[in-house]
Amino acid sequence: MMKKIIKWELKRIFSSKKFTAAFILQFFLIVLIIPLFTIYLETLQSGKFFSTAPGMNEFIPIGINRRCKLSEIIEEYDQFSLTILEKNDGMKML
């Protein structure tokens, strides 16, 4: 009986051509997007996510306070390396 109810509901829902087209489009869009997340995750884990400009040594400089919680979080991951600098040297890098 449940199978009949489900079939009846699905027939009723998909009887509208607009809904069917929208559903199929969204389904294929989701199917196409899912592999992009795995590629994005792999590039983040490899550490080669950012393309470097000439003159850069494969890093993106950011300035954070040594006592900031963000520095503790960054230290946990291999992809990031913290370099402690004086204020003047840090401003030159930025």
| Pair (55, 26) in one structural domain | no
What is the model's pLDDT at position 85? Answer: 76
- Per-residue pLDDT tens digits for 12-49: 877 888 888 888 899 888 888 888 878 777 776 666 65
What is the model's pLDDT at position 57? Answer: 54
| The two three-digit tokens of residue 45, written as one number | 């884990």
Q: For residue 79, give the DSSP letter.
A: T
What is the model's pLDDT at position 60? Answer: 64
- Per-residue pLDDT tens digits for 47-92: 665 555 555 556 666 777 777 787 777 777 766 667 777 778 777 7
Question: What total number of domains does the chain contain?
Answer: 2
| Pair (71, 31) in one structural domain | no
What is the model's pLDDT at position 47? Answer: 60
8 Å CB contact between 48 and 75: no
| Pair (57, 19) in one structural domain | no
Secondary structure of residue 85 in the 3-state scheme: coil
Domain boundary among 28, 47, 66: 47
Print the domain residue range for 78. 50-94
| Pair (43, 64) in one structural domain | no
The pTM of this model reads 0.34
| Pair (37, 59) in one structural domain | no
Distances (CA, A) of 12 to 4, 66, 91: 12, 61, 64
